[in-house]
């Protein structure tokens, strides 16, 4: 198999599997990024690499070099529209949990198919539920998109209804943090509220981009603790990530929520800047 036609590269070479001794497989010892591909290019690539490097630094893993990643991207031959996953693990070795003295990180780049989602989720909003699984507090890992996703796996296993797009997750004390695979923005009528991630959760690339655009549009925002019990129907809820862009929440746990007055402006900006795999962007 040539690298040009490969969907999966490990350390720059076509491959189909990772070593059973890899610490990413054994312990979740690594970080990852999921990136939209539009017009054959990875979107918000610089921001994703910045978060990846930050996560590697927090875990003490040497991040991949820029020229290595550039070569990998060229070898994958990116499609017009798609998704890309970049994973970096500490590699093999070490005695039990103890990391090796001189680790050799594993770099994995994989093309992914686009999830099939109804177009009306972007246009009329989505239904979400409240998850029972909570997120554990660990400031040392807070904000990092690390490979330990068991809380999200268990939370996503709480429902099978295909009409429910997402589930909202809280910390153990009931503070809202994020959805299982998206970040949360809350419009209280005066400002956007971004749930605190100083104890748990992931700092989102798309969320950061949206907040910068909110400032351009003159939309005030603040990051703070907000408890799930304080949510009211008049709160406008929005979900965002690097693949979907932004969804409004139409209903939460069966309760109809107000549509944020800022949602359309932010969605329009995403479409005009071609930043996510929205129906409008993929139709052009």
pLDDT of residue 6: 72
HSE-CB for 241 with a 13 A CA cutoff: 16
Mean pLDDT score across all residues of the chain: 96
pLDDT of residue 4: 41
pLDDT of residue 244: 98
At 7-24, the pLDDT tens digits run 999 999 999 899 999 999
Question: Rounded to an integer, what distance in angstroms lies between the CA atom of residue 53 and that of residue 31?
Answer: 9
- Which letter does DSSP use for residue 123 in this model? H
Beta strands 126-135 and 164-171, pairing class: parallel
Q: Please tell us whether the domain made up of 120-282 is placed in CATH 3.30.565.10.
A: no
What is the number of other CB atoms lying within 10 angstroms of the CB of residue 222?
Answer: 11
Question: Rounded to an integer, what distance in angstroms lies between the CA atom of residue 130 and that of residue 170?
Answer: 9
At 230-272, the pLDDT tens digits run 999 999 999 999 999 999 999 999 999 999 999 999 999 999 9
Domain at 3-112, CATH from 3.40.140.10, 3.40.50.2300, 3.30.470.10, 3.40.190.10: 3.30.470.10
pLDDT of residue 2: 38
Ranges of each domain in the chain:
3-112, 120-282
Topology agreement, domain 3-112 and domain 120-282: no
Question: Rounded to an integer, what distance in angstroms lies between the CA atom of residue 64 and that of residue 55?
Answer: 12
pLDDT of residue 59: 98
pLDDT of residue 260: 98
Question: Rounded to an integer, what distance in angstroms lies between the CA atom of residue 236 and that of residue 227?
Answer: 15
Which of the four pLDDT bands, split at 50, 70 and 90, describes residue 43?
very high
At 200-220, the pLDDT tens digits run 999 999 999 999 999 999 999
Global pTM reads 0.95
At 86-124, the pLDDT tens digits run 999 999 988 899 999 999 999 999 999 999 999 999 999
pLDDT of residue 95: 85
């Amino acid at each position: 198999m040539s690298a040009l036609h490969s969907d999966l590269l490990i350390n720059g070479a076509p491959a189909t599997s990772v070593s059973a001794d890899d610490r990413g497989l054994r312990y979740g010892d690594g970080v990852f990024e999921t990136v939209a591909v539009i017009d054959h290019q990875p979107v918000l690539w610089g921001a994703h690499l910045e978060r990846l490097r930050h996560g590697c630094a927090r875990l003490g893993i040497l991040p991949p070099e820029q020229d290595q990643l550039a070569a990998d991207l060229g070898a994958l031959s990116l499609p017009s529209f798609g998704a890309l996953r970049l994973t970096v693990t500490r590699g093999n070795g070490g005695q039990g949990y103890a990391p090796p003295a001189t680790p050799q990180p594993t770099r994995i780049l994989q093309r992914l198919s686009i999830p099939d989602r109804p177009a009306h989720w972007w246009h009329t909003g989505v239904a979400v539920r409240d998850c029972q699984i909570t997120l554990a507090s660990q400031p040392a890992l807070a904000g990092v998109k690390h490979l330990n996703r068991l809380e999200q796996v268990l939370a996503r296993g709480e429902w099978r209804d295909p009409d429910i797009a997402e589930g909202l997750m809280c910390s153990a004390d009931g503070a809202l943090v994020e959805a299982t695979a998206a970040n949360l923005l809350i419009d209280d009528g005066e400002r956007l509220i971004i749930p605190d991630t100083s104890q748990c959760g992931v700092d989102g690339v798309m969320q950061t981009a949206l907040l910068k655009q909110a400032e351009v549009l003159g939309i005030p925002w603040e990051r703070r603790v907000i408890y799930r019990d304080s949510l009211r129907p008049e709160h406008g809820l929005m979900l965002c990530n690097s693949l979907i862009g932004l969804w409004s929440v139409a209903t939460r746990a069966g309760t109809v929520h107000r549509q944020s007055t800022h949602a359309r402006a932010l969605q329009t900006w995403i479409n005009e800047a071609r930043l996510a795999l929205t129906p409008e962007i993929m139709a052009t």
